[in-house]
Amino acid sequence: MSENGGDGPLPGVMPGRIPENAPMPADFAPKELARALLRETRTATLATLDRNTGHPFASLVNVATDTDGAPLLLISRLATHTANLEADGRASLLMAETGKGDALAHPRLTVLGSLAPVAADSADVPRMRERYLAQHPKAKLYAGFTDFAIWRMQVVSAHLNGGFARAADLTAADLLTVTAA
Amino acid sequence: MSENGGDGPLPGVMPGRIPENAPMPADFAPKELARALLRETRTATLATLDRNTGHPFASLVNVATDTDGAPLLLISRLATHTANLEADGRASLLMAETGKGDALAHPRLTVLGSLAPVAADSADVPRMRERYLAQHPKAKLYAGFTDFAIWRMQVVSAHLNGGFARAADLTAADLLTVTAA
């Protein structure tokens, strides 16, 4: 009896239904696909921990990436997700490719890590701000407001779902680019 | 000094930046908008609690609604999010309207609650399955596989972000329709 329980003619090709030891298609390059999703996705779903109830809380954010690929957010402390992050920085970002047909047929990446605000006087802020605004020019309208700050994700791991029958667990090293110190 | 800290000419109109006591536009009807998002969104981001690390884990799911509006999922126990839910049913679903321009200008709803599997022999299963498959006909390919089950969300509350300067917290009663027992 197979791990799929012998329950059909399409083992392993259904959404979210990929046994850990299933063979992946030969043209599936998880690291390359994950790096592309990380660097090209401009809007993501942020999951934080609700500071009142502990529920995972999903919200929409715009996202950019730092030089090494680490996700950068520009968020207001007046927003619910920011209040959640101030209580517990653990988070994930879902970066999904969109397209026609069944959404589950398209690749998406869950990046897990911890988000922390970057101190306003940090030497890293000008670079991060420039990168964020290059990717989100309209954010210039509010980037200077005192309730907004850049938050950077320290990536811990990631889970790639490349569409039906394609999945991989990845490390931070798989995703990020080594940059000069 | 205002709650916005006097930091610009556009108080309260920026993403995620809505003070709790800010006046909402007269044409903003949160309950109607939230009910429409709940009943018309077919793909959502699911946030669960990672069973190993406690991180909030964001993944993509197709979603349908039960008669009263409660979200229904059809998910495999081979998927990461399902394993997370088996350990802790607390979850949220982000249901976002998509469209042109800045994603943050479009309405989206975070529905918080607990997800539980519906027993295969429950008298509710035929109705739920029919509703799910009517909304996701391609799921007929795998709906009968033994690792798939319908999960129903017991809604606790919701947070609506209707786009810039429009937000509301909602109760389960605001979202759901009273149905005959």
* ipTM score: 0.88
Would you call B102 and A138 a contact, using CB atoms and an 8 Å cutoff? Answer: yes
The parent domain of residue B91 ranges over 30-175
Would you call B55 and A15 a contact, using CB atoms and an 8 Å cutoff? Answer: no
Would you call B10 and A110 a contact, using CB atoms and an 8 Å cutoff? Answer: no
Q: For residue B3, is it within any domain?
A: no
Q: For residue A135, is it within any domain?
A: yes
Q: What is the DSSP string of A138-171?
A: GGGGTTTSTTEEEEEEEEEEEEEEEETTEEEEEE
Would you call B78 and A104 a contact, using CB atoms and an 8 Å cutoff? Answer: no
Q: For residue B6, is it within any domain?
A: no
Q: For residue B85, is it within any domain?
A: yes
Tens of pLDDT, residue by residue over A8-18, are 333 344 555 55
- Predicted confidence (pLDDT) at residue B2 exceeds the cutoff of 80: no
Q: For residue A109, is it within any domain?
A: yes
- Please tell me the distance from the alpha carbon of residue A63 to that of residue A43, in angstroms, as a whole number: 6
Q: How many CB atoms lie within 10 A of CB B13?
A: 16
Q: What is the pLDDT of residue A4?
A: 35
Query: Closest approach of chain A CAs to the CA of B68, in angstroms?
Result: 22
Q: What is the pLDDT of residue B13?
A: 45
Q: For residue B86, is it within any domain?
A: yes
Q: What is the CATH number of the domain that holds A127?
A: 2.30.110.10
Average pLDDT, chain A: 88
Domain count, chain A: 1
pTM, two decimal places: 0.88
Q: For residue A159, is it within any domain?
A: yes
Tens of pLDDT, residue by residue over B30-63, are 999 999 999 999 999 999 999 999 999 999 999 9
Interface test with A, best of B10, B42, B45 (most A CBs within 10 A): B45
- Chain A positions touching B43 (Cβ under 8 A) are 103-104
Q: For residue A121, is it within any domain?
A: yes
The low-confidence residues of chain A, meaning pLDDT below 70, are 1-22, 180-181
- Please tell me the distance from the alpha carbon of residue A151 to that of residue A73, in angstroms, as a whole number: 5
